[in-house]
Amino acid sequence: MISGHTRILGVIGHPVEHTSSPVMHNAALEALDLDYAYVPFHVQPGQLEAAIAGMRALEIAGLNVTVPHKSAVMEQLDEISEEARIIGAVNTIANRDGQLIGHNTDGFGFLESLRRDGGMEKLPPQVTLLGAGGAARAILYALLQRPEVEHILLLNRTVAKAEALAGELHPEGSRVTVAPLNRENTARIGDGGLLINSTSVGMHPHEESSPLEDPACLHAEMLLLDIVYNPLRTRLMLQTETAGGRALNGLGMLAYQGARAFEIWTGQRPPVEAMLTAALKRFEAT
């Protein structure tokens, strides 16, 4: 029951109609019997400053931040975690007695999905990352924090964008190689044991698309993490499984980054299985 003691959590973005965060977080709040409610807020870019002022005035306990606000919101906050500062994006804001603190939990969610769903306590020395957008920033940062990862092949259709990303996060350049995402370079994917697709290729309504023109580089010793989760099985996942490899969708990463945000806000570890179950039910209903 909503009462005068109920604290508010939410997500801001444009659009927000597609978000699974409300069903996941409300399932976790209900399971732990916490007096919070999580709601989506549609915030257009020109209203971001007013929205954050509203967070302060209304004493909203915490917010998730999604596109297109992850970078712009940083200017409105009192403190930013080192990880979020280096990545250049905030996806979680905690309100601590009027002080707004920005975090980025995407890298945590990525690594936790590999660990819990992929069984990768230790990452392979050779990793390939497809894409150089917002999700790739957090993933590349997380990979660079793991000393066992010796080399990262960063493939993107626009090479200049990938070079800029690598230059910002790894200026010394010794562990990251940038190349165009084309048939010639995808052959090099086979040298690694982990492939990450951080692009939106294969997302609904383009389920028949794959970022790989030729899947011959895929092999049985490979794990794929495709951050797409609508559909739950992408064409790239099917290509990997056909080659004998293992494939994960992005739902786990979504849930684990959300779980980390939940813990930041409430101080309690959420029931991740309840969050995943709620998200799956939402997709099955659509």
C-alpha to C-alpha distance for 216 and 185, rounded to whole angstroms: 12
- How far apart CA 257 and CA 249 sit, in angstroms, is 14
Q: 30-34, 87-91, 149-153, 171-175: lowest mean pLDDT where?
A: 171-175
**Summary mean pLDDT of the chain:** 96
Catalytic residue status for 70 = yes
Q: For 211-256, how does the pLDDT look when each residue is reduced to its tens digit (9 = 90+)?
A: 998 999 999 999 999 999 999 999 999 999 999 999 999 999 999 9
Query: Token pair for residue 13?
Result: 């973005």
Residue 91 pLDDT > 90: yes
| Helix 106-116 with 251-266: angle, nearest 10 deg | 120
List of domains in the chain: 7-104+258-285 (3.40.50.10860), 107-249 (3.40.50.720)
User: Considering the entire predicted model, what is its pTM?
Assistant: 0.94
Task: Given the residues 70, 122, 161, 281, select the one marked as catalytic.
Answer: 70
pLDDT in tens, 93-122: 999 999 999 999 999 999 999 999 999 999
Name the nearest CA neighbour of 88 among 169, 157, 11: 169
- Asked whether the beta carbons of 270 and 262 are under 8 A apart, the reply is yes
Phi, psi of 34 (to 5 degrees): -95, 140
- E strands within 106-222? 126-130, 151-156, 176-180, 194-197
pLDDT band with cut points at 50, 70 and 90 for residue 286: low
Q: Is the pLDDT of residue 29 over 90?
A: yes
Contact residues for 25 (Cβ-Cβ < 8 A; gap 6+): 9, 38, 258, 262, 270, 275
pLDDT exceeds cutoff 70 at 79:
yes
Element (H, E) at 48: helix 48-57
Which letter does DSSP use for residue 216 in this model? G
